[in-house]
Amino acid sequence: MDLRKLRYFVAVAEELHFGRAAERLHIAQPVLSRQIRALEEELRAQLFVRDRRSTELTAAGRQLLEDSRPLLAAAEALRRRVALAARGTSTFTLGFMPGITVTEPLRTLTERHPGLAVDLVRTTWDDQTEVLHDGRADASIVRLPVDPRGLTVRPMYSEPRVAILPVTHRLAGKESVDVADLAEEHLLNEPDAVPEWKAVATELRAGGAARTRGYRSIEEKLEHVAAGLGIAIVPLSTSEYYTRPDVTHVPVGDLPPGQVAVAWVAARRSRLIYEFADLVTR
């Protein structure tokens, strides 16, 4: 497959507009159209349905989009690893989610391998596994659930989840609350991340007010909680790491604990990755 044509295809599939995709790719629209037609001829399949008002993916196009993303990510990962190898430097890059401390296992790894260059990549819910597929990280400490396709995921530990509240909130200071106590609140997480709250949430009932987006970064959530614009559900370690005087946390007793794991691309056969995984899961 011609990776350049695949990149062009993904741009059009994500924009669903040839003009915007051409601008994003910094090429002329007629050139982009010709490349897409050439790709369709190679695959012997129509990828888009176009008229004057819209561009839509066909079933073949949707399948190609699903398969193209990991293929392009793998190609980018290969490029990164070859570039590092060409420098002659032994490196290990670790992704990690907010609130997770990785100092001790990394220190042990560097003590065992003098001269090893270690780098860290702070991740979010959106890219905690993406950094593995595109080669930015060799391993990643992730908060489950994640899409396990193409990955080895090894459990590390679990921890309670807590509700982050303004210090003036009616529930602040309680030893524990239940999910039902939070049914009237506005949740700043994506609802799918806390299905137990989603099942009882007043704002999601038929006829309720339109819901605003969930916030991915802990900093955004804390700012909105402090302003009285909602609450957030986070792992205990995150709430303890990101402290501030205008918010507090309360354990949610009937929420299952959050799971933390180490993940890496299953096809990788790196001795350093396996050694690090053993260190953090021991």
Q: Which domains does the chain have, with CATH numbers?
A: 3-72 (1.10.10.10), 89-159+259-281 (3.40.190.10), 161-256 (3.40.190.10)
Reported confidence tier of residue 282, pLDDT bands at 50, 70, 90: confident
Residue with tokens 């270690």: 118
Q: How many residues does the chain have?
A: 282
In contact, 47 and 16? CB cutoff 8 Å: no
Q: Are strands 117-122 and 91-96 parallel, antiparallel or unpaired?
A: parallel
Sign of CA dihedral 41, 42, 47, 48: negative
Q: Could you report the per-residue pLDDT of 160-193, keeping only the tens digit for each?
A: 999 999 999 999 999 999 999 999 999 998 888 8
pLDDT at 211: 58
CA distance 37 to 5: 10
In contact, 120 and 94? CB cutoff 8 Å: yes
Identify the CA nearest to 132 among candidates 210, 84, 73, 220.
73
Q: What is the mean pLDDT of residues 132-139?
A: 90
